[in-house]
Amino acid sequence: MASSSRPLPSDIIFKILSRTSLETLDTCKAVKKEWHDMIFESSFMPQFCANSQNISGYFVQGRLFGEQVSEFVSMDGCSGNSTTTTPFHLPRPDELVKLPAAFFGDMRIVASTMQGILCCVITLGNWRSRFHICKPSTKQWVKLPSPKMRYFTEKVALIVLRSKPLHFKIIRLSYPPTFQAQPCHYSKLGLMTHYRCEIFDSEYWRWRQGKDILLLYPQSFFEPYAPAVHAAGLIYFQLCHGQVMALNYDGEEVFPRLSLPNCPGIDDTYNDGHRHINEYKGKLGCTCLSPNGIIMLWVFDNGRQDWELIIKEVDIEIIKGEAKYAIPHGFYNADIALMAVKFSSTSCKTRALT
């Protein structure tokens, strides 16, 4: 006698997924498209945070009166239920807490992951820099061996390969101080820029040198305020003049550099700052803020090597009423974008846009 089972109703699946762990949730995203889309719904993360005591949001950092400060930004219901985690702040490591009052110490976040792990660089008063891994939810700090610190850090990417036990990699791109501004030289192809690539693997607990990254002018500079984006199993870095570079977890380029999609009113020949890469539902996305204040969203298909327009137009009139400049920095879920709103040359704030 043949037997058949009916699929579970979507509301039951929603309740089950909202009670899983972060590790299980990452696996469930790849099981079915229905589950993947459900996890990115606006109502999912608040319910998941309430059930699992997890914290969801962004660390936003900047300088205030010359000091590096970090602030946690979250949607309502996603900051945990414990009084020890609300409000939520980045803990200070013992190295800075124990410093004398007159001794200068600075700390900044250089990379982060969706699993709640941060890569931070601590600069002490003698200008020595040290890499640390931080888990803010448990206030844990782990000091890492130093890479080639006489090289200036250009970009850093952090990848968590496994949460329990924790296994992560760090990709660091840097350049030597002998070139001061940028390590450039002329070749048969033209003006080339060389960046040193170093990879830290927590299983071996050491840095190793990878292949140098070569950039040909005019795409020879990284966008200064664009963090690395981890999506679809790759690390993406935004270059100037509308280019994107994709690396695997060993710091090697996996396919030719991408061109960002065309945005109305944007000229590729200039560093316009209107287009930003980000992660959208597990894939590489690109948001464009046109001069007339309209946000557009594209998603990159690795198989077709092409951009697909997802959102044609979203008016940000509510933000334009507060400030002239608003930059989309990422997506909290499929429907909510994080915006950085600039009021003056020294102040900015963030807000969510649905």
The structure tokens listed for 166 are 């924790």
Q: d(Cα 143, Cα 128) in Å, to the nearest integer?
A: 14
Mark whether 252 and 174 lie in a shared domain: no
Nearest-angstrom CA–CA distance, 161 and 316: 37
Give domain status of residue 298, yes or no.
Answer: yes
Residue 275 included in any domain = yes
* pTM, two decimal places: 0.83
| Shared domain check, 94 and 68 | no
Domains: count for the chain: 3
Q: Which domain holds residue 127?
A: 90-219
User: Is residue 4 situated within a structural domain?
Assistant: no
Assigned token pair, 241: 């003049």
Do 22 and 113 share a structural domain? no
- Is the same domain home to 353 and 270? yes
Contact 278, 287 (CB under 8 A): yes
Does one domain contain both 299 and 252? yes
Q: So what's the pLDDT on residue 341?
A: 67
Domain boundary among 179, 198, 219: 219
Q: Is the dihedral of CA 339, 58, 308, 239 positive or negative?
A: positive
Q: Could you tell me if 138 and 67 lie in one domain?
A: no
Structural domain contains residue 289: yes
Residues 60 and 20 in one domain: yes
CA dist 322 and 341 (Å) reads 8
The predicted pLDDT at position 354 comes to: 31
Q: Clarify whether residues 348 and 245 are in a common domain.
A: yes
- Which pLDDT score is estimated for 73? 77
Task: Let me know if residue 3 belongs to a domain.
Answer: no
Return averaged pLDDT per consecutive 10 residues of the chain, 354 residues in all. Answer: 67 88 82 87 84 80 75 66 50 60 68 90 75 85 88 93 91 77 50 87 95 79 88 92 92 91 65 77 86 80 87 65 65 76 44 35
Q: Computed from CA positions of residues 7, 12, 14, 19, in that sequence, does the dihedral angle turn out positive or negative? A: negative
Structural domain contains residue 60: yes
Identify whether 236 is part of a domain. Answer: yes
Residue 340: give its domain's CATH number: 2.40.128
pLDDT the model gives residue 181:
47
Answer yes or no: do 94 and 84 share one domain: no
Residue type, 251: G
Residue 294: the pLDDT is 73
**Is the same domain home to 244 and 352?**
yes
Q: Are residues 234 and 106 in the same domain?
A: no
In a domain, 1, yes or no: no
Q: Take residue 318 and report the two structure tokens written for it.
A: 């509510």
CA distance 172 to 159: 12
* Residue where a domain stops, chosen among 219, 249, 273: 219
Residues 123, 181: one domain?
yes
Residue after which a domain boundary falls, among 36, 66, 88: 88
